[in-house]
Amino acid sequence: MKIREDIIDLPIKYKKTSTFILAGLYASYVFFDDIKPLYDIATELDINNKILYKKLATETLKTLGVGFCTNLSLQSLGFMQKPRLKNLLSTLTMGLPLTIRYIFNPSPKSLESLIEFSEDTLNPPNPNAIQEDRAKLHLMRGELGHGILQYSKYLETQRDKISDKSFFVKLLTLPLKKLYQVRALLDKRISTQFDYIFSCLENGDESTAYEKVWPRILNQNSSLEIKLAHALSLSKSSRTEEAKNLWHEIIENQKDKLQIIGESRNEVLEITCSEELKGTIIIKIGEKKRKDNFTREAYVLSEAYKSTSISNLFTPALVIHYSDDNEVLITFRRNAKNLDKTINEKSSEASMLSLARLHSLKLKLPEYDLLIELNRRLVEKRLGNPADAYPLFHEIKKLLEKQEGKKITSHCDFFPTNVLDDGTIIDLETAALHYPAFDIENFRSHPNTPRSETAVKKYLELRSEIEAREIKLYNRHLYRVLCPTFQIGSFFAKGDDTSSIKFLETTLEGIKETGLTQLKDPLMFYLNSTPLKALL
């Protein structure tokens, strides 16, 4: 049903007159529909006049009161702004039937119709309500991973209403509870107990939640989903030792069902024992000596996730805990693949837009030391003798000292292997303050990245818009050479000689294009002292 624009656009004075007429018509309708038939029946049956007059007076006053309230209600509509009035009329004429249909038939199809109505008809739509409904839709379809991700984004918008202690408990237990409600996998007792846990933690009562309620839930249902909810809630409580033991138990019990993904220097696993859990939880296990990196990644993910309204930019870091030898970071898993195999112009632009948002964050991070990282990738335990690399590093250091611009929040390993094909940025453990051109040229050094400057232009436009100032890129010529140089050692260490030579060719092309010819001889001198010499 379409809302008549000509009625909505009537001047206020005409709307006021219309409300009197409508109220009068309504009062007349009630009189002839209710009161007159009553009078006629009373006359025919010769009912006592006092009783009749009392009944008629009551009904008449009631009719006048309803007419008066109707008049006031209609007049209030006349003073509403057009968008709100349209929303109200649309809700009454279209949204109400859809809502009633969903209440009495809560199926994915009925909820999907309600979401489409909210997005297409309401102006402006309510994004928070839509996010919550989309989360319910995923859960009704049995898509636990997507449902939790959607709920986590919705709950972030409500964070000021939720205490820090209970936020992460609610983040997982709420969607799990919803999942079990819509799929009837849990009885009402367990759903109610989830609510009770939330109330206990809101009031700072951890002992009741973890010593009384959680044991009862686990006794009634010890599924992996419930154990994950328990582990996540423990990790955000003061019971860190219990959390560590539970995560260790989960990982040990799922060892044969864990799947290694990606090519990270850390062990990156996901639980694949069921379709619902597959693609939901990522477990990153790193060396304890590098624990500051995971702590940094969790900080960046948390701040970035709170600071952007773009749902597919970052995933929330949920838990960090330490075992005897390792650090473990738990995050949600995106249902997407790494970009390096499928990169094209469109995905390249999406990646640059995500990077622009990351670069616009004002975070407290250490400064990135490029020379240390270059030494790790090109020399240390990989290629050759540090003494032979000294002339090259000496020239690079002189160039680094002449850099222009300001250091900002940077990924510092922004390569297509660290971006998903939906634009999500991952593996932020090396995030630090550095020059933005480093991330851009590192991404563009990948052989499959389109050479067009369109993606970089979109990056500059978005950053300028976010930061409300003109953004310029400095030092691109330097990183045009240094970024592929990084990859020479990285791919050689993986046994990929072909890619190492390809990156060397890209480096030499960059030296020729940028005029940084002072780097060519020291670079070739060093590489000729390494095992790569046989391939040159």
pLDDT, position 449: 92
For residue 362, give every residue at least 6 positions away whose Cβ sits within 8 Å of its Cβ, in sequence order, or none: 409
8 Å CB contact between 194 and 170: no
pLDDT, position 109: 80
For residue 174, give every residue at least 6 positions away whose Cβ sits within 8 Å of its Cβ, in sequence order, or none: 151, 155, 194, 198
Helices (H) and strands (E) in the chain, counts: 24, 7
Q: How many Å apart are CA 227 and CA 242, to the nearest integer?
A: 12
Which range scores top for mean pLDDT: 83-97, 249-263, 336-350? 336-350
| pLDDT tens, position by position, 147-160 | 666 666 666 566 55
pLDDT higher than threshold 50 for residue 1? no
pLDDT higher than threshold 50 for residue 12? no
Instruction: Check: pTM over 0.85? Answer yes or no.
Output: no
Q: Which residue would you say has higher pLDDT here, 244 or 309?
A: 244
> What token pair was written down for 501?
């030579």
User: Is cis: bond before 124, omega within 30 of 0?
Assistant: yes
pLDDT higher than threshold 50 for residue 223? yes
Residues of the chain with pLDDT > 70, as a percent, come to 59
- Min mean pLDDT across 208-222, 390-404, 449-463 is at 208-222
pLDDT, position 32: 59
Residue identified by tokens 């009633």 is: 100
Name residue 330's beta-bridge partners: 283, 319
pLDDT, position 264: 67
Q: What are the distances in angstroms from CA 318 to CA 265, 332, 398?
A: 21, 8, 42
- 366 by Cβ neighbours in 10 Å (0-12 / 13-18 / 19+) ranks as exposed
pLDDT higher than threshold 80 for residue 441? yes
Average pLDDT over residues 281-308: 70
In whole numbers, what is the pLDDT of the chain averaged over residues? 75
Residue of 228, 214, 245 whose CA lies nearest to 148 = 228
State the CB neighbour count (10 A cutoff) for residue 435.
Answer: 24
> What token pair was written down for 523?
């670079």
| pLDDT tens, position by position, 368-388 | 999 999 998 888 766 778 889
Average pLDDT over residues 390-407: 94
DSSP string, 326-358: EEEEEEEPPS--BGGGT--HHHHHHHHHHHHHH
Q: How many Å apart are CA 395 and CA 39, to the nearest integer?
A: 107
Return residue ranges of the chain for CATH 3.90.1200.10.
Answer: 339-535
Average pLDDT over residues 2-23: 47
Q: Which residue would you say has higher pLDDT here, 353 or 53?
A: 353
Average pLDDT over residues 111-140: 72
| pLDDT tens, position by position, 407-433 | 999 999 999 999 988 788 888 888 999
Name residue 419's beta-bridge partners: 425
Residue of 141, 146, 144 whose CA lies nearest to 335 = 146
Return residue ranges of the chain for CATH 3.30.200.20.
Answer: 258-332
Average pLDDT over residues 55-74: 62
> Can you list the pairs that 85-92 forms with residues at least 24 positions away whose Cβ atoms lie under 8 Å?
85/8, 86/3, 86/8, 86/123, 87/122, 87/123, 89/3, 89/8, 90/3, 90/121, 90/122, 91/122
Length of the chain: 536
Question: Would you place residue 183 in the very low, low, confident or very high pLDDT band (cuts 50, 70, 90)?
Answer: very low
Q: Which residue would you say has higher pLDDT here, 236 or 500?
A: 500
8 Å CB contact between 329 and 427: no
Q: Does domain 339-535 have CATH number 3.60.10.10?
A: no
Q: In the CATH hierarchy, which fold is given to the domain comprising 258-332?
A: Phosphorylase Kinase; domain 1 (3.30.200)
Question: Would you place residue 95 in the very low, low, confident or very high pLDDT band (cuts 50, 70, 90)?
Answer: low
